[in-house]
Structure 1
Amino acid sequence: MNQSVEMVKTAYNALSDKKGEDITIIDIRNVSVMADYFIIASGTNSSQVQAMVDNVEEELGKKGYVCKQMEGYRSANWILMDYGDIIVHVFDRDNRLFYDLERIWRDGKTIDVDTLS
């Protein structure tokens, strides 16, 4: 398993463990050089959004991956976590609908976590 895939699976499970909603993985390798994958998830309130992000950071940290940059933690309406190969976006429901990253990155390929290898 390559590093990007391991990171995606770990982040996905960390988000899922904190009851993240509508977790989406977009393969952007053929669309952008900024990362291999986007992971997008929603939480119901700012506390849950922060808990999801904290869990992603903890679980990836256990495997030796360090977040290069994080933005939006205090407001917790859209938190971006940059791990280089993957970028994790955690939104509250309203901001996820407003920014609609899935539409913006529709040239990428939406994939299921179970198909990653």
Structure 2
Amino acid sequence: MIEKLENLPEGVIGFKIHTKLAAEDYQQVLAPAVEQATQVGPIRCVLVIEEFHGMTGGAVKDDLKLGMEHLRGWKRIAVVTDIAWISNLTGLFGWMIPGETKVFPLAEQQSAIAWAAEPGPDQASN
């Protein structure tokens, strides 16, 4: 299950993941939010994961599809979790994820949101 985070800075989308992700989560929540974000600019995303029990087969397929459809659209992904294996895998395989990826502990959710909202080096003012 996934819920959309509210009251984020302009240009940042965010989600809180609970237990197990299903294809419906992608189709009803994630995909529409990502589509809307691409209309505004690069995708800046915050994923808060307090508890995670995997993904259905349909969710895995939709995850790959969503990532590939917007391969060049991802700017920053902040992963906020205290789950060690998610932090470790993100650190290990972050280079495979388009855009910048950074892991934050749950206690630093506001820092993760601020990081996701920051302009990148190619957008900074001179």
TM-score, normalization: structure 1?
0.32
Q: Which structure shows the bigger proportion of residues in strand conformation?
A: 1
Q: Pick 1 or 2: higher relative contact order, CA cutoff 8 A, min separation 6.
A: 1
TM-score, normalization: structure 2?
0.30
Q: Which structure shows the bigger proportion of residues in helix conformation?
A: 2
| Structure number, greater radius of gyration | 2
